[in-house]
Chain A
Amino acid sequence: NAGVTQTPKFQVLKTGQSMTLQCAQDMNHEYMSWYRQDPGMGLRLIHYSVGAGITDQGEVPNGYNVSRSTTEDFPLRLLSAAPSQTSVYFCASSYSGASYEQYFGPGTRLTVT
């Protein structure tokens, strides 16, 4: 099993550009989530999904969209990038919900200039 994979590993965007961060898992996990990690702030939940077709907002959802058309994939879209979105983004999955072990991907380091 590959676990949780994320692409790209690194990305530089200009303000106003859009992009999609890809996340896939091969563990048949129902729960998937996106976090951003900033220095001194730990990980903050952006969006999460409890299954295909179901998504909900986390702590910091503004500026981000998600969809979950399959169990395996959970892409994160930045519609109009802003410098405040410069961060490291992690996708995670778990068997069922937040109280179960979260399996994290390797992260995407995004810089918005």
Chain B
Amino acid sequence: TQLLEQSPQFLSIQEGENLTVYCNSSSVFSSLQWYRQEPGEGPVLLVTVVTGGEVKKLKRLTFQFGDARKDSSLHITAAQPGDTGLYLCAGGRGAQKLVFGQGTRLTINP
């Protein structure tokens, strides 16, 4: 059973469209991180959210942490081909363990 469920698992859209990726759990997390991974490379951190209800923006990317700290979303506005990649959410379980969702593979078509 996956502790963190990401949806959708695959998403293919046209350049310029908007999209939202969800990361849901029945457990409370002390923090939640979003990573992006390119083929053949390790994940790279995009953002960390720690407060329930927190919203962070990174250019065209908006990240939100749920009020109850059990879920998060990533919204991309006007997607570009450079946004293509595997997006992973990860929840902090205490101070020492990080639990990852299964990932959302995003493809932006020109």
- Chain A partners chain B: yes
Q: Decide yes or no whether B16 CB sits under 8 A from chain A.
A: no
Total A-B residue contacts, Cβ distance less than 8 Å? 68
Stretch at the interface among A67-75, A79-87, A99-107: A99-107
Chain B, interface residues (CB within 8 Å), range: 20 to 34
**Would you give the shortest CB distance from A7 to chain B, in whole angstroms?**
14
Task: State in angstroms the CA–CA spacing of A42 and B23 once bound together.
Answer: 12
Is A99 a contact partner of B42 (Cβ separation < 8 A)?
A: no
In the assembled complex, 10 residue pairs joining A and B whose CB atoms fall closer than 8 Å, in A order, are: A33-B98, A45-B99, A48-B96, A98-B92, A98-B94, A99-B95, A102-B35, A102-B90, A104-B42, A106-B41
**Would you give the shortest CB distance from A100 to chain B, in whole angstroms?**
8
The 6 closest A-B pairs by CB, nearest first: A104-B42, A42-B100, A98-B98, A43-B100, A42-B102, A99-B92
Most buried by B among A35, A41, A43, A99: A99
Chain A residue, CB-CB nearest to B95: A97
Q: Decide yes or no whether A58 CB sits under 8 A from chain B.
A: yes
Is B101 a contact partner of A42 (Cβ separation < 8 A)?
A: yes
Q: Decide yes or no whether B109 CB sits under 8 A from chain A.
A: no
Residues of chain B within 8 A (CB-CB) of A44 are: 100
Q: Decide yes or no whether B50 CB sits under 8 A from chain A.
A: yes
Is B45 a contact partner of A42 (Cβ separation < 8 A)?
A: no
Chain B residue, CB-CB nearest to A50: B96
Q: Decide yes or no whether B72 CB sits under 8 A from chain A.
A: no
Is B88 a contact partner of A107 (Cβ separation < 8 A)?
A: no
New A-B contacts (7) at CB < 8 Å, excluding given A41-B2, A107-B41: A43-B90, A44-B100, A97-B96, A98-B96, A98-B97, A102-B98, A107-B42
Is B97 a contact partner of A43 (Cβ separation < 8 A)?
A: no
Is B96 a contact partner of A43 (Cβ separation < 8 A)?
A: no
| The one of A31, A40, A42, A48 that contacts B88, using a Cβ cutoff of 8 Å | A42
